[in-house]
Chain A
Amino acid sequence: MSRLILSLTLCSLSLTAAKPQAKPIPDRSLGLSRTSVFDAPAPPAYRDEASEPGEKALPKRINREYPPIIPHSVADSLPITRSTNLCLDCHAVPGPKKKGEATPVPASHYLDLRRAPEAKGTQVAGTRFVCISCHVPRTDAPPLVGSRYRG
């Protein structure tokens, strides 16, 4: 506990250390839209990812828990309905990943975590059926602000 209090104290000390006063910030330069709240700006145009599956290198995972983002176009794969899931047509293949094939749905996706978390099923769990609930597609939009997140 004392170590914790010490670290909190050090933290607050470093904050009070003299720092040059930052320049005044006009309100229009705050936030995600660098405009006045009274403006009605023209939003930029972005393009949906248009590459074919396998065409582009897999992007770096955000962290080991974040579901991989979809690196290819999804225009022809959606919507996912109860009878049609084109994502699974390619991705529900046994691992490990083979060259030229889609990234296999991992073993975890075959578990029924609610009813029988220890028994591997033969089908992808129904709770994971709507792939795009967790795996997001992408456009060419660059980040609005930087991120200090480190995985």
Chain B
Amino acid sequence: MATHLVSVLNGLAMGSLLFAIALGLSLVFGMMDVLNLAHGAVYLVGAYVAVALVSDGAGVAPFVLAVLAAAVAGAVLGGLLASLTRATPHHLDQALLTLGVALVVGEGLSLVFGNDVHSIAAPEPVAGGVTVLGETYPVYRLLVIGFGAVLAVAVYVLVERSPLGSLIRATVADRAMVAALGVNTGRVLVGVFAAGAALAAVGGVLAGPILGAQPGLDEKVLLLALVVVVIGGLGSVRGALLGAVLIGQVQALGTALLPEYASFLVFAAMALVLLLRPAGLLPARSGVHA
């Protein structure tokens, strides 16, 4: 039983990270129908920022610095991607553009950091373990779960309870109408794109001590984020949260119970949801909720 508890906790940690990563993907898709295939690459940029800045046994300061640097790098990349995709009005072309950027960024990273698998140490004060129901569990992962909870509440307040949030929700619902009211929707779009990318890059740093950094990780993360978004419902914040928690559990329990089929289970979960609810569990467009 206790080993299953560890799996559940692992799943929650993974779910927290997936929520941070999938949120930007979902909102960008909901707002401008842009499928950002470079989202995984942005995540990997964050992970490699952590590789560059956080050395083994480092304290909290370098880690926080890495988070900030990754946020800036992610926001810059996101802004760049937003302006690139706005240059062409066709959705397939936009997806292809981001795919091209993903290839360039991925190869650029492997040019700079090589093809080795890098591991990233958790900051020294939280590198140890703590006993949970008789099992030792890394403190860092508990903190990641806490981060996910805080992020979920913060995003809920921001999107559901603030003027900026109502602007974002309105832009998801009907961009032309918002533009007709005199709002520069272009700035909202670029802002959300940049913020989502920054969040993905921060996710890369935070996931560093759990997943490390290596070439090819960007695709795995992109896949998981896509599945989360599809399961949750496109453009929906609550959907992203629910999808992330679900996929986190499927991944962790699947790896623990059926290691051979863990990757297949993620797909099976997606297929099941699509069979029952083709628009995802909590779709955004029917009623515009966060």
A and B co-occur in one complex: no
